[in-house]
Structure 1
Amino acid sequence: MFLLQFGNPSNVKAQLIASSSNSIQANSYYTVQIYKNSIPELQSLISIDKDDELLKVVLKEIAQKTKLGIAYNSDLDVLNKKVSVKFDKTKASDILEYVLLGTEYEAAISNTREILLIKRQPVEDKKIVEIDISGVVKDAETGETLPAVSVFIKGTSIGTTSNSEGEFELTVPDNSEILAFRYVGNKELEIPITGNMRNLEVEMEPDVLIFEDVVVVGYGTQQRAEVTGSVSSIRTEVLENIPVSSFENALQGRLAGVNVVEPTGEPGASPEITIRGGGSITASNGPLYVIDGVPLSRNSDLQVDIQSQRGSFQAPKSNAFSSLNPNDIESIDVLKDAASAAIYGSRGAGGVILVTTKKGTPGINRVTVSMYGGASSVVNKPDMMNAEELIAYTKDARNNNYLQEIDRGNQPANPLYDPNTNAGRPNVGNFLIPEQYVNWNGTDTDWLDVVLSSSAQQNYHVSASGGTDKATYFLSAGYLDQDGIIDGSSFTRYNFRANVSYEITDKIKVGSVTNAALSNHDRLPANAPYYQQPPEIIY
């Protein structure tokens, strides 16, 4: 037996797979004659024009145009029968029945959506038992009918959709067990199939979890369905699976309209974040950070030691928020538009990032331990000139400068001119070859190989949380050690957090949030140029 599986018509490559004839089991198919109104592919309107063609070729074309596979025993004589067909926009089920007229075979569809050829049963032996199901689907709360609801037999390819009035009709085998209903924004509904199932009235309940998702806004929390501004969120489940040293890096590529750029990639460095682009030419375009309700600044201009150096030799800016362990964060909400961030005034002109840390849950005591390790290495390293190539390049440049001035008549020609030495050249800087290049001592240093190297990082985190109806607690400790790919750069952090709350009365609740961190940040000027004339050994 052979199986031919067709994919999307835009990719008409067919895949031929050998299969044994016993792979088709009893009751694993549905005849086209009975279920042609219940299987969507059989209701496809297709066109086919074949004259005196082999039956197997016609069947393959039908399968391809209906996006179905086809399985048959290649030894069947009927497949070599020649047929002539000409149909225009006709149901595939009708064409299948036509091409098999006068043969001892009929078409069927398997559970895996393949066209099969099965022997026709004698009329007197046929025991066709089927159930007709019909009804209407409504919203359980409003009573309105629901169009385009998917109605199908669970575990099979038999199904249909409700029309614009919410009505549906379906013919199913008598051994079908579960009728399922699926609609966006509503809970999936399953009902057992019994004898008479005509004129059903099915009510689907809204999936309230979709609309009750809580987001943090400037003045508290709201259900997502009630938020009119632009708010995006990241939950703890996402943060826990991202190996980053700062929560800001976790935003990269995960929220629409939030642009996170790593200027250097050095460990512990501060990323640049803009929300919906820049809004000012002279002022800062960075967002306002609010951690557990407290507005904080990440103004790097306060780092005086950086500003005292030349721009090209400044070390990367230190990240003030790297002391906050991402594993201690419950959620990050980004307020993007003016309406959402209005409560913060001009400070929120560049958007607002709200960070909520974890707290204990009453009645649920939990201890969590996590760790990870990793390595970093340089990719796309530029192909630099070696010392010999640099010397040759410099000689060519100085020779061209000198000869160009001779051609212009600005310098007299000198018969003592030597392209590899300074003999016969005037004492002009752009004409002279550096003496170390003329008498090169053979030193050749790969500066990128010296400066860059592979690095390792490791992170350990342990936390305990829980509480009662009156008091809750969350305690955590962590250790992060990250080396940079620039030799000598690294970031190390020890942190401890304690979130404790106690409800004195129904109206009075006290709490304490403590975050202690000790970090060591070895920063190097990653953007600084590394020069040496001539190329020498690094000491």
Structure 2
Amino acid sequence: MKKVLLVLFLAIMLLVPLDGYARTYSAVFEKASPEEVINTLKRETGLDFVCTKELLNSAKSPVTCNFTGLTLDQLLNRVLSVNMLLGYEVVDNTVVVKRPDAGADYVQGEIKGVVYDEDENEPLAGATIIIDGTDNITVTDIDGRFSFKDIRALNPVVSASFVGMKPASIKVTPKNQNALRFELKTHVTMMSEVVVTGYQEVRKEKMTGAATTISADKLDQRFSTNVLDNLEGRVAGLSTYGGKPVIRGMGTFQGATSPLLVVDGVPVESSLSSFDPFSSSDLSAADAAAGALADLNPYDIESVNVLKDAAAAAIYGARAANGIIVITTKNAKKKDKIDIDFSANLTVYENRNVDYADNFYMTPEQQV
């Protein structure tokens, strides 16, 4: 019986100040009593704590929490307010522990809610849900729902997070504790890219194959009249040999070794006069692909998607064994609205002096 009591009431307390520009603390309490917590805070922070015995008896007990790298304000808030359900006020070097303010929200019982993907308006399964400042953590089920049982918390804040999406937080009150609703937004800087395969548009995070997307803004950063020259150095695995594009080396011996070029969903090789579909040589196909890229106006391109692995062959067949370059051209963005993009390039060359006398060449008469 004594061993069981020792395990249940074991308290491990550790507050470690970390030297630096701002003093921070790491705190670990496991099944600690309120008196032990206050004494440890007093000893390690160097502050005086004023509280009554009755107030400590009314605090939530035992205290179990694990924090690292907290400032003094964060430490007092998470230990006293969140985990012990007590209010406090710092006056000079004294911490006055008191009952929660009248306007504080004390939540008791079950907290539950649902998480949605705002873009697709569908439940989000596998999202991480946590009550801030505590070790209460869970994940949403297949319907995007979550719940916490037997919660006692003062001014609790529940946060939801998911890979590729912006985290969100909601303050829990007795009125909304059973109907929390999170609508997570896609993180624009992380998941703004859309991969165009020629048949469909796939969001970057749902794309299983190896692909690189180059937007029109990136193309404009480097001036080049040839799209292929603009892509080189931007797409890993793409290189040119003799003006012909090669993706991840040569992937076939007998077939065409150049990547398949698709413009607005249509393979363009067969429409080029230089491509001979009955020729056994790959020279015409490579020239056709390189020539078609050179013929495209860089300012008409909305995006370039380079598909580089075997998943591309699953879409277009054996002809895509050496990769695919999918180009999407610009089109109208808004109905009943005309957008005009104008660009001008000025190239200055030195006027070559071809006069025979000035270049010490003889005229035909002088030569005769």
| Offset at residue 70 of structure 1 (A) | 1.0
1:97–1:330 CA distance, 2 compared to 1 (3 A): same
For structure 1, list consecutive stretches of 5 or more residues without a partner in the other structure. 1-44, 48-58, 72-86, 153-157, 264-268, 303-317, 370-460, 462-477, 488-539
| Offset at residue 229 of structure 1 (A) | 5.6
The residue that corresponds to 2:320 in the other structure is 348
Matched residue type, 1:363: D
Q: Distance in 1 between matches of 2:184 and 2:254?
A: 49
Q: Among residues 159, 162, 175, which one is paired with 1:183 in the alignment?
A: 162
Q: Distance in 2 between matches of 1:144 and 1:272?
A: 41
Cα contact 2:127–2:161 (8 A) shared by 1: no
Matched residue type, 1:340: A
Q: Distance in 2 between matches of 1:222 and 1:239?
A: 20
| Offset at residue 102 of structure 1 (A) | 8.5
Q: Among residues 479, 484, 494, which one is paired with 2:345 in the alignment?
A: 479
Q: Among residues 200, 220, 241, which one is paired with 1:240 in the alignment?
A: 220
| Offset at residue 329 of structure 1 (A) | 0.7
Cα contact 1:149–1:183 (8 A) shared by 2: no
The residue that corresponds to 2:174 in the other structure is 196
Q: Among residues 94, 102, 108, which one is paired with 1:120 in the alignment?
A: 94
The residue that corresponds to 1:131 in the other structure is 105
The residue that corresponds to 2:246 in the other structure is 273
| Offset at residue 99 of structure 1 (A) | 1.7
| Offset at residue 180 of structure 1 (A) | 5.2
| Offset at residue 278 of structure 1 (A) | 2.7
| Offset at residue 205 of structure 1 (A) | 4.4
| Offset at residue 274 of structure 1 (A) | 1.3
Q: Among residues 93, 104, 107, which one is paired with 2:48 in the alignment?
A: 104
Cα contact 2:167–2:184 (8 A) shared by 1: no
Q: Count how many residue pairs are aligned between Structure 1 and Structure 2.
A: 269
2:243 is paired with a residue of what secondary structure?
coil
Matched residue type, 1:184: V
How large is the RMSD of aligned CA atoms in angstroms?
A: 5.4
| Offset at residue 334 of structure 1 (A) | 2.6
Q: Distance in 1 between matches of 2:137 and 2:246?
A: 47
CA deviation map 1:442-464 (0-9, x unaligned): xxxxxxxxxxxxxxxxxxx2xxx
Task: Give the TM-score normalised by structure 1.
Answer: 0.37
1:322 is paired with a residue of what secondary structure?
helix
| Offset at residue 195 of structure 1 (A) | 5.2
CA deviation map 1:28-56 (0-9, x unaligned): xxxxxxxxxxxxxxxxx886xxxxxxxxx
1:216–1:145 CA distance, 2 compared to 1 (3 A): closer
1:98–1:235 CA distance, 2 compared to 1 (3 A): same
Cα contact 1:136–1:199 (8 A) shared by 2: yes
1:110–1:240 CA distance, 2 compared to 1 (3 A): farther
Matched residue type, 1:336: K
Q: Does 1:332 align with 2:304?
A: yes
| Offset at residue 288 of structure 1 (A) | 1.7
Q: Distance in 1 between matches of 2:100 and 2:125?
A: 33
1:331 is paired with a residue of what secondary structure?
strand
1:248 is paired with a residue of what secondary structure?
helix
Cα contact 2:42–2:48 (8 A) shared by 1: no
Q: Distance in 2 between matches of 1:251 and 1:117?
A: 63
Tell me which moved more, 109-118 or 241-250.
109-118
| Offset at residue 189 of structure 1 (A) | 4.7
The residue that corresponds to 1:259 in the other structure is 237
Q: Distance in 1 between matches of 2:192 and 2:45?
A: 58
Q: Distance in 2 between matches of 1:322 and 1:241?
A: 18
CA deviation map 1:1-27 (0-9, x unaligned): xxxxxxxxxxxxxxxxxxxxxxxxxxx
The residue that corresponds to 2:81 in the other structure is none
2:138 is paired with a residue of what secondary structure?
coil
The residue that corresponds to 1:436 in the other structure is none
The residue that corresponds to 2:63 in the other structure is none
The residue that corresponds to 1:163 in the other structure is 138
For structure 2, list consecutive stretches of 5 or more residues without a partner in the other structure. 1-11, 51-69, 79-89, 141-145, 276-281, 285-289, 351-368
Q: Distance in 1 between matches of 2:173 and 2:99?
A: 17
| Offset at residue 295 of structure 1 (A) | 1.8
Cα contact 1:151–1:182 (8 A) shared by 2: no
CA deviation map 1:138-194 (0-9, x unaligned): 345887875622555xxxxx6776325744568556xx9x86543336675554x47
2:325 is paired with a residue of what secondary structure?
strand
CA deviation map 1:364-403 (0-9, x unaligned): 322335xxxxxxxxxxxxxxxxxxxxxxxxxxxxxxxxxx
Matched residue type, 1:109: L
| Offset at residue 289 of structure 1 (A) | 1.5
Matched residue type, 1:233: T
The residue that corresponds to 2:7 in the other structure is none
Q: Distance in 2 between matches of 1:271 and 1:114?
A: 64
The residue that corresponds to 1:216 in the other structure is 196
Matched residue type, 2:226: S
1:114–1:183 CA distance, 2 compared to 1 (3 A): same
Cα contact 1:136–1:145 (8 A) shared by 2: no
CA deviation map 1:214-244 (0-9, x unaligned): 64334x3244488776554333343333444
Cα contact 2:246–2:322 (8 A) shared by 1: no
2:258 is paired with a residue of what secondary structure?
coil
1:230–1:143 CA distance, 2 compared to 1 (3 A): closer
Matched residue type, 1:274: I
Q: Does 1:295 align with 2:268?
A: yes
Q: Distance in 2 between matches of 1:170 and 1:482?
A: 76
Cα contact 2:259–2:320 (8 A) shared by 1: yes
Q: Does 1:149 align with 2:129?
A: yes
1:279 is paired with a residue of what secondary structure?
coil
Task: Give the TM-score normalised by structure 2.
Answer: 0.51
1:358–1:118 CA distance, 2 compared to 1 (3 A): same
The residue that corresponds to 1:63 in the other structure is 18
Q: Distance in 1 between matches of 2:179 and 2:192?
A: 28
Matched residue type, 1:119: N
Q: Distance in 2 between matches of 1:119 and 1:206?
A: 42
Cα contact 2:128–2:160 (8 A) shared by 1: no
1:285 is paired with a residue of what secondary structure?
coil
Identity between Structure 1 and Structure 2 (%):
21
| Offset at residue 111 of structure 1 (A) | 6.6
Q: Distance in 2 between matches of 1:170 and 1:204?
A: 21
Q: Distance in 1 between matches of 2:328 and 2:298?
A: 11
